[in-house]
Amino acid sequence: MKQILAYTISAMLICVLGACDNKEDENNYEKALEAYEEGNLKDAWTYLRQETEENPENGMAWSFLIDVYNNLEQYEAALQTGKKALNTMGEDDKDALAYVYESMTKSYMRTGDYGAALEHIDSALVLKPGNKYFLVQKADCQYYSGDSDGAIETISMAIDSASADDKSILAGLYYRRGFYRDNSKNIDGAMKDYSKCVRLDPRHAYAHLGRGDMHMLRNEVELAREDYQNVVELDTAIRESGNCRHYGYQGLGLNDCAERHMNKILAKYPTYGNYYDAACLMSRMGNRERALHYLKKSFEAGYVEFCHIDNDDDMDAIRDTQEYRELMARYRQKQKSIH
């Protein structure tokens, strides 16, 4: 699966926290930020709980705490914290309220409640109109709820609002629009956006992957191979999410290398996203049985992005099977019953 690469808390909320005017309790922020950046979510949670108990009016601490719960995959706790924050905070702190709404948006998205997610990100945008990070969140909500046209329109607004000097952010936005267009079967539009991303950030492995796939659809095999080779050379680390080297190997016809790399990822990070990636890889390789096996594993682990699966061409090899239809129907209904 060509992925949407998430904006993390360090790209948004941490910079806001660092700019917060409330200095009298700064130590709690510093400790929580340091713990978060070191990957120690438990300590970050402890410091933020202390901060919100001692200073319940500190909206940015509430927002940070919600994001920590999201990272811990404790989405119900995140939402309960958000509701408590909205009942506790004053209405004058519009920036903090906006970030609470945005953090709750991520919680609702991870539980598959895209209607609630859209309501909350719209509330954030009322408080901070035109905020490009909020526009990104809204575009993701629209895409994963099945509104690809709306997602493309919204992400285009974010592109228009981004500074030409901030090449890294602009590259990510072009990648995102390419991803939406790619999964809307707009090959030419996706190609243009992936290429713009590569020009701004030549080391963006996923953009090379997306462009390579578009070249293959155009039967431009040698150009595709160049991009797939770049994916293999650029994506060398194994991370919890956002891996794509295995797809590069597969695009080059090195299926054994692709499978070995995917197995290393799953051994270290057996997450719903990586199980879905394994399903996509096996489908691309033509191994229907294993693709269906990993798709089921992704659902069992909590994958809920059904509208994306509907559009993901990586699933084309298994889409016409009875097993695929039954899996999708069963887990889709399970997700609907929760909401």
pLDDT tens-digit map of 124-148: 999 999 999 999 999 999 999 999 9
Torsions phi, psi for 291 (to 5 deg): -60, -45
Average pLDDT of the chain is 91
The pLDDT assigned to 20 comes to 45
Domains of the chain: 9-129 (1.25.40.10), 264-339 (no CATH)
The pLDDT assigned to 21 comes to 47
**What radius of gyration do the chain's Cα atoms show?**
20
Tens of pLDDT along the chain (339 residues)? 555 655 444 444 444 444 444 544 457 878 998 899 998 999 999 999 999 998 888 888 999 999 999 999 999 999 999 999 999 887 888 999 999 999 999 999 999 999 999 999 999 999 999 999 999 999 999 999 999 999 999 999 999 999 888 999 999 999 999 999 999 999 999 999 999 999 999 999 999 999 999 999 999 999 999 999 999 999 999 999 999 999 999 999 999 999 999 999 999 999 999 999 999 999 999 999 999 999 999 999 999 999 999 999 999 999 999 999 999 999 999 988 876
The pLDDT assigned to 91 comes to 80
Report pTM: 0.89
The pLDDT assigned to 57 comes to 84
Residue-wise pLDDT for 27-51, tens only, equals 787 899 889 999 899 999 999 999 9
Q: With residue 126 as reference, give the H or E element that holds it.
A: helix 114-127
The pLDDT assigned to 10 comes to 40
Cβ neighbours for 94, distance < 8 A, ≥ 6 positions apart: 127, 128
The pLDDT assigned to 258 comes to 98
CA dihedral 313, 318, 322, 323 (to 10 degrees): -110
The pLDDT assigned to 107 comes to 96
Q: 212-216: which pairs have CB atoms within 8 A and are 24 or more residues apart?
A: 212/248, 212/251, 213/2, 213/182, 213/251, 213/313, 214/182, 214/187, 214/190, 215/191, 216/251
The pLDDT assigned to 335 comes to 87
